[in-house]
Amino acid sequence: MTTLREQTDAKIAAGRKGNPEFMKGIDDVIKEAKVFKEGSNALKLGDKAPSFTLPNQQGTLVSLDNLLAKGPVIVTFYRGSWCPYCNLQLKALQSRLEQIHELGAQLVAISPEVPDDSLTENEISEMNFEVLSDQNADVAGQFGVAWKVPDFVLDHMKVDRHLDIEKINNGNANIMPIPATFVLDKAGTAVWRFVDVDYRVRSEPQDIIDELKKLA
C-alpha cells in the first residue's frame, strides 16, 4: 500500500508537469513563508488547545470538550472538499479510523466550508468522523494555523479551477487554514503536531497512530 506521502508526491509531480508556472509560484510563496511553515505561531507541544464548538455538516453543534470527555482527539485542519490533497489526506485517515478508535481516540476534521447541502453531498461527508465548519477560519486562527492566501492562488482557483471560494465558505475567501494536525490527550494538551504551510505536504497517518499508542 502506498503511503500518503507517496500519493501527494505523485500529485505534486503531476502538477509541475501540467502547470509548472503555478507550481513555481507556490514554491516561491512557501520559501517566503519559511518561518510560518515551521509553525512558529501554531499551538505548541504542551499547550492546552483552545475550546471550540462548531457545526457539523448537518448543522449539529459539536464541542471539543465533549469529544475530549471520551478520550484523546485528533484535530486536523484542511482547506476544503475541493482540495485534492485534502481528499487524499482524509481518505488516508479514514482507512486508519478503526485503529484510531481502537486506541480510544476520535478524529475531527475542520475547514471553513459552510455546512450546507453541497457539503452533505460531497465525498468527505461520507467519512465516519466529524467534519466541522469553521467559517472565517476563526478556530484555525486560535490554533495559530490560519493564513492569508496569496492573490495569485485565489486567481488560480477562480480562473483555472472555476472555484468560487467566497461562495463555498459563505464569505471570507482570503483566510484559510494551513494543513495542520494535532493530537490532543484527554486533558486537551497537544502531545503531537504537524504544521506546514505547503498545502501539498500532509502528516502521515502512521505517525499519528504511533503517538496514540504512546498515550494508550
Interval 108-149: pLDDT, tens: 999 988 765 554 556 666 778 999 999 888 999 999 998 777
pTM given for the model:
0.77
Which pLDDT does position 100 carry in this prediction?
A: 97
Q: Which of 26, 49, 54, 86 is catalytic?
A: 86
Q: How confident is the model at residue 178 (pLDDT cuts 50, 70, 90)?
A: confident
Beta-bridged to residue 73, according to DSSP, are 106, 184
Interval 2-59: pLDDT, tens: 888 888 888 888 888 888 877 777 777 666 665 445 467 899 999 999 999 999 888 8
Q: How confident is the model at residue 103 (pLDDT cuts 50, 70, 90)?
A: very high
User: Would residue 83 show up in a list of annotated catalytic residues for this protein?
Assistant: no
Separation between Cα atoms, residue 204 and residue 208, nearest integer Å: 7
Please provide the distance, in angstroms rounded to a whole number, between the alpha carbons at the two ends of the chain: 26
Do 93 and 85 meet the contact criterion of CB atoms below 8 Å apart?
no
Strands 190-195 and 130-133: what pairing?
unpaired
Separation between Cα atoms, residue 97 and residue 110, nearest integer Å: 16
Query: What nine digits make up the cell of 123?
Result: 465525498
Separation between Cα atoms, residue 122 and residue 90, nearest integer Å: 13
Residues near 183 by Cβ (< 8 Å), separated by ≥ 6?
72, 73, 74, 105, 190, 191, 192, 193, 208, 211, 212, 215
Kindly list the domain boundaries of the chain, sorted by start residue: 4-215
Interval 75-90: pLDDT, tens: 999 988 888 888 899 9
Helix, strand, or coil here: 199?
coil
Does 3.40.30.10 match the CATH number of domain 4-215? yes
